[in-house]
Structure 1
Amino acid sequence: ENEHTSCFRQGFLTNLLNPKVAVFFLTFLPQFLNPNHNTFIQLLVMGLTYLVLTVIWFAFYIFLIDKISAFMKKPKTQRYIQGLTGVVLIGFGIKLAFEKNN
């Protein structure tokens, strides 16, 4: 079993066993049901719509994070971040040095 399959399985089980999803479906969705029609079919359609939108969102999220990760791993970016962090820490040190005790 490779790492991607293991990560996928862990994420799938985490979402499947997440009680917040069940609470959302039980509290929020019933207000949109038409009692004159088959409620099971309506819930199924809403659930599948939610599933498809969630998969699209996570796919976009993964794509975006992958691009950001590739950018952050570049040595030039690493040097810039380290330099910026150093300047911020020096600034905090200077502020602390000139701060009066109350």
Structure 2
Amino acid sequence: MEWIGWISLAIFVAALIYFAVSAVKAFKSIKPKVDHLKAAQQRIQTETDKIKGETDELKVHQEHIMADVDHAKQAVTLTVNEAKQIPQNAKFFAKTAADPIKNKKTAKA
């Protein structure tokens, strides 16, 4: 009966050794794959940072374009408003230019 205990202990120790050997083999076979995944993650992170930088540059460029468009829009609006005032200004100019001529004619008469 005593030998059953020793055999059970030997089987248990053999199972632990087999488990340790299997774990080491699994770790060794998984390590290159994990390293490959870490490298892929690093490349993706680098690309993500690059895209974020480009996005920030595009936002700045977009803001400049929007400012230029607003400036051009204001310039066109101002020009159109001034062009609308030309007939009134011309009438006023003609009226003020004609008044001194009338005053000179009435003064001579």
Question: Shorter-chain TM-score: what band?
Answer: 0.3 to 0.5
Higher percent of residues as helix: 2
Higher Rg: 2
Q: Which has the higher contact order (CA 8 A, sep 6+)?
A: 1
- With normalisation by structure 1, the TM-score equals 0.39
